[in-house]
């Protein structure tokens, strides 16, 4: 049993050790007399003090060590569970995916929190948890942008580095699942108020799935989650396994904001506005920006799943849509293409005429890497 209670100085934030039986203590740094509310103070042992000091110092290896020690003595310590998960994320390298351990620890943190501690653990998720996920996601994307494409890459992969891109996609999916877990926790019965910061960040991270970003060595921006090349492909869709998990939550969060489901004082506290709850799919909802629409080529191939269609869509999204005349062409094609495609689909003669033209277009796009 400890003979002191750790408090923070109300003026400078220094950690002070209040001896048992005392009701006040003067800070040796700023000379402030502190008179804490002893009834509401949580007792801390030496290891807890060391863990929180390590947190303040961003020494996450030490945080993980102390959190593990605390959990060995008390597996129901929700703060130690949270910081063990946070440590796993902060000390991970670019080749690591810490998301599973983070999810396990965050789940245990909430499971072991009492009704009285719920608000505190939710605040940990909304601040330190969101900060961690954002740093990890941005770090992964930055590494992919720098190392995911090489101009001197071999012809088979068109310059794309499969291992780097596979790792990036896998990690972002993991971080999305972790963010999704936090939105699930946010909706548990013992949570009195929906935390808007948790939900807003989920939308922000989801926008990665729909965003084109510049890669080192390329002339156009690419969406890593809709990246098609000769030897590997990453295609995200609402009907994919992860899409079926997160897309309904995206809609739910947007509707919650529109219907006033978040308390205004919480929105103000986190500095959140309407823009934080905009659809992350905004770019993809514009027919000029993504999706299907290769009407004639689809009619020629007789299916929407042909690989060459993906190449042509990439050419439209990543090349034509970046130029004024290209946008004009896309707009005209969307206006007149469907009717002409219906004629092609019903005529074997027109299919024979346009098939070599479509194939030639695909060869040109892939040879010159313009898409």
Region of residue 291 (left: phi > 0; alpha: psi -120 to 50; beta: else): left
pLDDT at residue 165 above 90? no
Residue that is last in its domain, among 258, 285, 312: 285
DSSP E strand boundaries for the chain: 4-8, 15-19, 25-26, 33-34, 226-228, 233-235
Q: Are residues 319 and 266 in the same domain?
A: no
Of 317 and 117, the structure prediction assigns the larger pLDDT to 117
Q: Tokens in use for 5? A: 């209670």
Q: Are residues 234 and 321 in the same domain?
A: no
pLDDT at residue 30 above 50? yes
The model's pLDDT over 179-214, given as tens digits with 9 standing for 90+, comes to 999 999 999 999 999 999 999 999 999 999 988 887
* Cα distances (angstroms) measured from residue 55 to each of 12, 61, 79, 112: 17, 10, 12, 21
Distance, in Å, from the CA atom of 292 to the CA atom of 321, rounded to the nearest integer, reads: 14
Residue 309 lies in a domain: yes
Q: Are residues 198 and 307 in the same domain?
A: no
Q: Contact at 8 Å (CB) between 169 and 234?
A: yes
Of 291 and 345, the structure prediction assigns the larger pLDDT to 345
Residue 32: Cβ within 10 Å count: 15
Ranked by mean pLDDT, the top range of 36-45, 103-112, 155-164 is 103-112
Residue 364 lies in a domain: yes
Q: Are residues 257 and 153 in the same domain?
A: yes
Q: Are residues 179 and 299 in the same domain?
A: no
pLDDT for residue 119? 94
Residue 98 lies in a domain: no
Residue 163 lies in a domain: yes
Q: Are residues 244 and 312 in the same domain?
A: no
How many domains does the chain fold into?
Answer: 3
In terms of pTM, does the model score above 0.75? no
Residue 223: Cβ within 10 Å count: 22
The model's pLDDT over 170-179, given as tens digits with 9 standing for 90+, comes to 999 999 999 9
Q: Are residues 166 and 279 in the same domain?
A: yes
- 289: pLDDT confidence band, cut at 50, 70 and 90? very low
Would you call 231 helix, strand, or coil by DSSP?
coil
The model's pLDDT over 236-253, given as tens digits with 9 standing for 90+, comes to 888 888 999 999 999 999
- 231: pLDDT confidence band, cut at 50, 70 and 90? low
pLDDT at residue 272 above 70? yes
Distance, in Å, from the CA atom of 240 to the CA atom of 233, rounded to the nearest integer, reads: 14
Q: Tokens in use for 95? A: 């080749």
In which domain, by residue range, is 343 found? 295-368
> What does 253-268 look like in DSSP terms, one character per residue?
HHHHHHTT-S-HHHHH
Q: Contact at 8 Å (CB) between 149 and 217?
A: yes
Q: Are residues 263 and 361 in the same domain?
A: no
Q: Are residues 122 and 154 in the same domain?
A: yes
Residue 99 lies in a domain: no
Of 319 and 72, the structure prediction assigns the larger pLDDT to 72
Residue 246 lies in a domain: yes
Residue 221 lies in a domain: yes
Would you call 270 helix, strand, or coil by DSSP?
coil
* Cα distances (angstroms) measured from residue 179 to each of 26, 53, 122: 42, 27, 13
Distance, in Å, from the CA atom of 49 to the CA atom of 55, rounded to the nearest integer, reads: 10
Residues 6+ apart with CB under 8 A from 74: 80
Q: Are residues 299 and 281 in the same domain?
A: no
Mean predicted lDDT score pLDDT of the chain:
84
Of 146 and 158, the structure prediction assigns the larger pLDDT to 146
Summarize the confidence of residues 49-76 as an average pLDDT: 94
pLDDT for residue 286? 34
Q: Contact at 8 Å (CB) between 65 and 31?
A: no
pLDDT at residue 146 above 60? yes
pLDDT at residue 332 above 70? yes
pLDDT for residue 156? 45
Summarize the confidence of residues 330-357 as an average pLDDT: 79
Q: Are residues 313 and 351 in the same domain?
A: yes
Q: Give the single-character DSSP code of 222.
A: B
pLDDT at residue 1 above 60? no
Q: Tokens in use for 305? A: 């799943």
Q: Are residues 121 and 268 in the same domain?
A: yes
Residue 33 lies in a domain: yes
Q: Contact at 8 Å (CB) between 312 and 330?
A: no
Q: Contact at 8 Å (CB) between 214 and 145?
A: yes
pLDDT for residue 155? 45
pLDDT for residue 305? 55
Residue 261: Cβ within 10 Å count: 14
pLDDT-above-70 percentage for the chain: 86
């Amino acid at each position: 049993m400890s003979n002191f209670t750790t408090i923070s100085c109300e003026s400078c934030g220094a950690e002070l050790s209040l001896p048992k039986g005392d009701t006040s203590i003067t800070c040796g740094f700023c000379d402030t007399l502190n008179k804490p509310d002893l009834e509401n103070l949580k007792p801390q042992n030496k290891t807890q003090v060391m863990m929180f000091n390590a947190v303040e110092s961003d020494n996450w290896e030490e945080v993980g060590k102390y959190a593990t020690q605390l959990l060995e003595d008390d597996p129901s310590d929700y703060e130690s569970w949270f910081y063990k998960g946070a440590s796993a994320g902060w000390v991970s390298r670019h080749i690591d995916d810490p998301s599973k351990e983070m999810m396990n620890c965050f789940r245990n943190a909430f499971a072991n929190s009492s009704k009285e501690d719920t608000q505190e653990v939710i605040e940990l998720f909304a601040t330190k948890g969101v900060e961690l996920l954002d740093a990890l996601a941005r770090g992964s994307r930055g590494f992919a942008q720098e190392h995911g494409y090489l101009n001197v890459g071999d012809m088979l992969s068109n310059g794309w580095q499969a291992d780097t891109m596979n790792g990036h996609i896998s990690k972002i999916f993991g971080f999305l699942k972790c963010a999704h877990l936090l939105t699930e926790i946010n909706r548990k019965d013992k949570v009195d108020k929906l935390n808007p910061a948790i939900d807003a960040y989920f939308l922000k991270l989801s926008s990665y799935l729909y965003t084109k970003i510049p890669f080192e060595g390329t002339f156009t921006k690419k969406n890593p989650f809709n990246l098609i090349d000769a030897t590997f492909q990453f295609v995200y869709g609402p009907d994919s396994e992860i899409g079926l998990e997160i897309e309904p939550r995206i809609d739910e969060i947007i509707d919650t904001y529109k219907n006033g489901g978040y308390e205004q004082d919480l929105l103000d506290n986190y500095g959140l506005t309407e823009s934080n709850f905009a659809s992350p799919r905004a770019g993809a909802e514009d027919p000029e920006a993504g999706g299907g629409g290769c009407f004639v080529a689809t009619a020629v191939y007789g299916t929407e799943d042909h690989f060459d269609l993906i190449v042509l869509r990439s050419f439209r999204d990543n090349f034509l849509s970046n130029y004024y005349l290209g946008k004009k062409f896309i707009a005209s094609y969307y206006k007149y293409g469907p009717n002409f495609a219906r004629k092609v689909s019903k005529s074997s003669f027109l299919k024979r005429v346009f098939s070599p033209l479509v194939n030639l277009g695909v060869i040109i796009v892939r040879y010159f890497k313009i898409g």
